[in-house]
């Protein structure tokens, strides 16, 4: 058994937290970009893009995230695509996030009064300009709270990347625990770090909900 002081364990875990944060931000940014494309298809006037977007969302919302990560990391090499654990984690979490963000934002689009669509159309705007300039800004404002709430869920979901061998917070904690045999101390600190990351965002989401409720 290797001797680690409390501060040694904390220092290593805090150092690993940067990878958890980087993975969360990369997946959220990627999920937002892909989610916007899925949202555009989901609210298209044409049937086939809507069907494809609905199928995409159903697939990623209806299957476990862990299975999606496994397919990304272990399945793609069998098809001839070499992929590292970081890339697999980012891609898997990006697709997962995009499905949920697209649905969250779709609810915001549907909450925008029909008169706003009519007003945008009366200006002679193309549908994409209608969305970008008139509809989406309002939809994003309506859905700020659930979007932040989903970010909290995404941060916690990054722990699954440890299964792929990616050295994020939980993977580092597993290595330290295997060396020290002090699971209560190690995983207790991991819980505290995740709480410190997620609690402020949770409170911020609640604040946004209250602001939305009072207009």
Measured between its terminal Cα atoms, the distance across the chain in Å is 58
The percentage of residues in the chain with a pLDDT greater than 90, rounded to a whole number, is 70
Q: What is the CATH number of the domain that holds 156?
A: 1.10.3720.10
Report yes or no on 1 lying in a domain. no
Q: How many domains does the chain have?
A: 1
Residue range of the domain that includes 46: 6-213
Radius of gyration in angstroms for the set of CA atoms belonging to the chain, rounded to a whole number: 21
Question: Quick check: 38 pLDDT over 90?
Answer: yes
Can you give the pTM of this predicted structure?
0.92
Mean per-residue pLDDT, 79-97: 92
pLDDT computed for residue 121 by the predictor: 74
In the predicted model, what is the mean pLDDT of the chain?
A: 91
For residue 52, being part of any structural domain is answered with yes
Using one digit for the tens of pLDDT, what is the confidence trace for 163-198?
Answer: 998 889 999 999 999 988 899 999 999 999 999 999
pLDDT at position 127: 73
pLDDT at residue number 52? 96
Give the max Cα distance, the chain.
73
Would 83 be classed as within a structural domain?
A: yes
CA distances in angstroms from 44 to 84, 102, 109, 133, 194, listed in the order given: 35, 13, 12, 17, 38
Confidence of residue 76 (pLDDT cuts 50, 70, 90): confident
**Residue 35 within any structural domain of the chain:** yes
**Residue-level pLDDT at 5:** 85
Q: What is the DSSP string of 68-91?
A: HHHIIIIIHHHTT----HHHHHHH
Residue 182, φ and ψ in degrees, nearest 5: -125, 70
> Is residue 44 a part of any domain in this protein?
yes
Handedness of CA 151, 152, 154, 155 (dihedral sign): positive
- Residue 119 predicted with pLDDT over 90: no
Residue 64, pLDDT > 60, answer: yes
Q: What is the pLDDT of residue 69?
A: 95
């Amino acid at each position: 058994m290797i001797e680690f002081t409390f501060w040694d364990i904390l220092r290593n875990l805090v150092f690993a937290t940067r990878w958890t944060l980087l993975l969360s931000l990369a997946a959220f940014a990627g999920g937002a970009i892909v989610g916007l494309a899925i949202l555009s298809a989901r609210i298209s006037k044409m049937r086939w893009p809507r069907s494809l977007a609905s199928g995409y969302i159903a697939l990623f919302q209806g299957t476990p995230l862990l299975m999606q990560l496994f397919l990304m990391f272990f399945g793609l090499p069998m098809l001839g695509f070499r992929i590292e654990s970081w890339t697999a984690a980012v891609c898997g979490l990006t697709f997962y996030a995009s499905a949920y963000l697209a649905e969250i934002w779709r609810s915001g689009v549907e909450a925008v009064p029909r008169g706003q669509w009519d007003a945008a159309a009366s200006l002679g705007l193309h549908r994409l300009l209608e969305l970008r300039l008139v509809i989406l800004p309002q939809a994003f404002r309506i859905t700020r709270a659930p979007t932040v709430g989903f970010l909290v869920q995404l941060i916690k979901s990054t722990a699954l990347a440890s299964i792929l061998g990616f050295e994020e917070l939980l993977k580092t904690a597993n290595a330290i625990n295997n060396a020290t045999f002090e699971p209560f101390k190690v995983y207790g600190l991991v819980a505290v770090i995740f709480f410190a990351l997620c609690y402020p965002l949770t409170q911020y989401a609640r604040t946004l909900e209250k602001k939305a409720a009072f207009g």
